[in-house]
Amino acid sequence: MHHSDRGIQYASKDYPDLLKEHRIAISMSRKGNPYDNATCESFMKTLKYEEVYRQEYRDLAEVLASIGCFIERVYNERRLHSALGYRPPAEFERALSIPEGLVLGQSRRA
């Protein structure tokens, strides 16, 4: 997946053709909406500063394993996200699956 704004370097014919040639899905922000990139850019900043810039990778396999581990174990399980009420995504999603009115540690009693 390749996400970008609508800059001329990304929207020209050659660049999308190159992405398609390498079977890379294209995601582009909507025309006139600069906020489409905000979430992606925030994630990429976090990934770079909290994982990539702190490591020295030996090869691509190590890059993929380390980044996958960071996303699953740190970003999704431990890192607090202000947009989710300062909870990690995994905790936020678990809370969504709890039936309404049921609070952890309590049972439904009449």
What digits encode the pLDDT tens for the residues 27-65?
888 888 878 778 878 888 999 999 999 999 999 999 999
Residue among 95, 89, 78 nearest 39 (CA)? 89
What's the pTM? 0.64
Please write the tens of the pLDDT for every residue from 80-100: 999 899 999 999 999 988 766
Residue among 92, 97, 68, 70 nearest 80 (CA)? 92
Higher pLDDT pick, 105 / 36: 36
